Structure 1
Amino acid sequence: MDLVDAYPIIVTDKLGACRDFYAKWFGLEVIFESSWFVYLARQGARPWSIAFMAPEHPSAPPGPEPFSGHGVCLELQTADATAEFQKLSAAGAPIRYALTDEPFGQRRFGLFDPAGLWIDVVEQIEPAAGFWDKYMIGPAN
């Protein structure tokens, strides 16, 4: 498969609020917008995108019910979680999990978007000594 893009579509009735949230806090640009669908993306060396679709539109593919806020998180990996936390906090972003160094090897903070999607902003750091030992299965055969 020669992908051009890959992105989640969050089914929600909060299209405008989600559009504004990702544009304001994460610098995404609106690439396409209609009354039932919004597609946002960040261009450049590390592009990423996300879309939001109204639940009642007839073009919806089979299966996606409105997002309930459970079972999914969006990981945004950054080189400097501290700088991103300071920038977003100073600007008033609705941070729900303060910047924390986790023993499993991430510096992270988090917040919910208007659709209820958890956004985990992470930086990979060195895990606590021995943290992963009890979770490892062993060498590949």
Structure 2
Amino acid sequence: MSPSRILTNICSDRLGESKDFYVSLLGFEVKYDSDWYVQLCSPSNRELEFGIISRTSGLVPAQYQKAPTGMYVTFVVPDVDTVYSKAVSLGLTIIQEPKNEFYGQRRFLTVDPNGCLIDICSPSSEADK
């Protein structure tokens, strides 16, 4: 049996800041907003969702209520350089400036308010700078 839906959720101690980060940087729309959970979606496809849950929620087992390590979240966008410019204008921490990678993606890395590494990328070609 295959899944009918996949939803990524990250844990947060800063729900409001996290919501603002993803809405401002990537243009997500707020689908659901409460004091313990925020669900965001793509404005062009409401089935593309991203959730942010309070780290101390009873729904998160105690052993997983830690800062993120050993993982990162990738968002594929039409134009990585436009999103990079927006990240700079928002004063976000840039871990890696836009760079063409060997596997055919141009990406930059930033970090969200929860300390989660965020990979923003677009397909690239050798003609891209």
1:63 CA displacement: 6.8
- The residue correspondences of 1:1-141 to structure 2 (distance < 5 A) are 1=2, 3=4, 5-45=5-45, 48-58=48-58, 60=59, 62=61, 65-126=64-125
1:25 CA displacement: 1.1
> Contact (CA 8 Å) 1:10, 1:67: kept in 2 or not?
no
Tell me the matched-pair count. 125
> Contact (CA 8 Å) 2:56, 2:65: kept in 1 or not?
no
> Contact (CA 8 Å) 1:11, 1:64: kept in 2 or not?
no
Mean Cα deviation higher: 47-56 or 116-125: 47-56
> Contact (CA 8 Å) 2:96, 2:109: kept in 1 or not?
yes
What do you get for the CA RMSD once the two structures are aligned?
A: 2.5
Identity among equivalent pairs (%): 26
Q: What CA deviation, in whole Å up to 9, does each residue of 1:31-70 have, x standing for no partner?
A: 1122111111123248522111123333x05477124221
Q: In 2, Cα distance between the equivalents of 1:125 and 1:9?
A: 28
> Contact (CA 8 Å) 2:29, 2:40: kept in 1 or not?
yes
**Alpha-carbon distance change, 64 to 38 in structure 1, aligned in 2, over 3 angstroms:** farther
**Alpha-carbon distance change, 64 to 36 in structure 1, aligned in 2, over 3 angstroms:** farther
Q: In 2, Cα distance between the equivalents of 1:67 and 1:124?
A: 33
Is there any run of 5+ residues in structure 1 with no aligned partner, and where? 128-141
Amino acid at match of 2:83: E
Amino acid at match of 1:120: D
1:18 CA displacement: 0.6
Q: In 2, Cα distance between the equivalents of 1:61 and 1:80?
A: 35
TM-score by length of 2: 0.78
1:2 CA displacement: 6.4
TM-score by length of 1: 0.72
1:26 CA displacement: 1.2
Query: Looking at CA atoms only, which structure, 1 or 2, has the larger radius of gyration?
Result: 1
